[in-house]
Structures are given as C-alpha cells and as structure tokens.
Structure 1
Amino acid sequence: MAANTSPIFPMIPRVLLSPLLTTANTAKDGTGTVTQISVVAGTNGAFVESIEALPIGTNTASVLRVFLNNGSATTTAANNILWEEVSLPATTLTEIAGQTKIVIPLYRAIPAGYILYATLGTTVAAGWRVRAPTGDY
C-alpha cells in the first residue's frame, strides 16, 4: 500500500527516454509498431501528469495516438485502449525560433503494471520525441 495516502501523491518520479517516433501505424487498437513512452507502473500504480511531444526538425502534419496497455503483449488488441490522441502540426526546422511542444494534460492514475505506448498516424521525416512524466505511488 502507498505510504502517502491522505492526500495521495506520487513518491517516485519516473521519466522514460523513449525512442524517436518517425514511422506510421494506422492501427487504432494499439497493435502494430508502437513505442513505449512510460515505465511500467509500480506496485501501487502510478500518476501520469501529461504526455509531451517535441518535434526534432521538419515534419509533415500527423496525429499522435497514446494507448494504455495492461502490461501484456501489445499485439493483442484486447490488452490496449486508445487513451488520447492529438493532432501534430507540420513543423519546420529553424535556428531562430523554438519548435512547438505539444502537451496533453492528463492528471490521471493508472493501475500497477500498466504501460503507455504511442504511435504516429503518418510517417514523418525528422520525428517526434514523446515522453510521459509519471510517478509511482
């Protein structure tokens, strides 16, 4: 049982350095090529603050889909649920302005053993870095 329960706050911060997303996956059930963007939720579950996507250069427009997985194989659709999705704008690399970070605020708890995965709707050139700051209870 979590030690800090009244009110409950995450005790152990977690951020996964996920691989670059560049390849399309048009499956809407979390199967196919997916990229893990969170660590496995701890024994007492975890709190997910947000999903953040940062373009790494010039990309065409796409969509970011985030799936919640129950800790089992992502190849089985019943283990995944489409949790969030957001449009990603076309981006152009420049040395005079920052790239726009896309943030999906969540502030939700997930059960022990669950994991977040992400996909892109279209293949992009430079790619997107996606992270999900979480904290185990």
Structure 2
Amino acid sequence: MAANISPIFPLTPKVWISALITAANTNKDGTGTVTQISSPAGPNGAFVESVEALPIGTNNASVLRVFLNIGSSPSSAANNILWEEVSLPATLLTEVAAQAKVVIPLNRAIPAGYTLYATMGTAVAAGWRVRAHTGDY
C-alpha cells in the first residue's frame, strides 16, 4: 500500500472573524443558534490548527461546542457532527488584567467544503469571540 511520505503544509492561511456568541443552544447536533467560525475548506481540503475563544467581558460559566459541518446547511443535523467541546470559565471584566483565552488544539485535516460552527450551552452577558486558525491546502 502506497503512502504519502512527503509532508504537506497549508498554502493559504485563513482566520474567520466570527460574530460574538452570547446565546444559549442546548442542541448537541449542530442545529439551532450556531455561529460560523471558519471559512469553508478549499478545493483540496484544509488544516485546522486550533480554535480560540476570548471573553469580551463579564460572563457566567458555560461550555463551547464546536461542530464540523459537511458544507451544507447546519439546520439539518445530518450535516453536522460534534467535533470538540470545552468548558468556558466565568469571567469578570477588568482593566488591570488580561482576560484568559481558551484554546482547543485540533491539528486535523478536513475535507473540501467543510466548515466549523460553534455554540454555547448557556447564555452569557458580554459574550465570547471565537475564531478558528485554518489553512487551505
């Protein structure tokens, strides 16, 4: 069986500027109130390095869920899979200390057209800005 012995690296880096996430979504299938956090993978697929969540102010604790979508409407559960989830701590707005971001290291390749979406388990006051660091092959 032949194997690809030459490493490949992303050709085009991408960072998607997502909307602020504040709303709750208790669905575990990627439907409901979801926020797109990556651009669709290019024609040769993409490499997803990480997903980062940065609090924008005072928030109660919640959970961030990241869904992998096949490139079709996220309103159909058949198009989504729960890819990762991570606890988000309660945060307090301050002007004398940095807010700690939450990082989900992924380091995975995804097929052409696939897209990442995110939701939160509980509503929060200020919100979280979530971004995916990806690169097209």
CA-to-partner distance for each residue in 1:74-132, whole Å, 9 max, x for gaps? Answer: 11101000000000000000011100000000000000000000000000000000000
Gaps of 5+ in 1: none
Once the 2 structures are TM-superposed, how far is the Cα of residue 6 of structure 1 from its aligned partner?
Answer: 2.3
1-structure distance, mates of 2:106, 2:92:
27
> 5+ residue gaps in structure 2?
none
Structure 2 counterpart of 1:101: 101
Letter in 2 for 1:135: G
Secondary structure class of the residue paired with 2:123: coil
Q: Which amino acid aligns with 1:35?
A: T
The AA in structure 2 aligned to 1:74 is: P
Aligned counterpart, 1:69:
69
Q: CA RMSD in A?
A: 0.8
Measure the CA separation in 2 of the matches of 1:74 and 1:105: 23
Q: Percent identity?
A: 77
Aligned residues: 133
- After the TM superposition, which residues 55-66 of structure 1 pair with which residues of structure 2 at under 5 Å, given as runs? 55-66=55-66
Amino acid at match of 2:17: L
- Measure the CA separation in 2 of the matches of 1:95 and 1:37: 27
Q: For 2:44 and 2:72, how far apart are their aligned partners in 1?
A: 18
1:84 corresponding residue in structure 2? 84
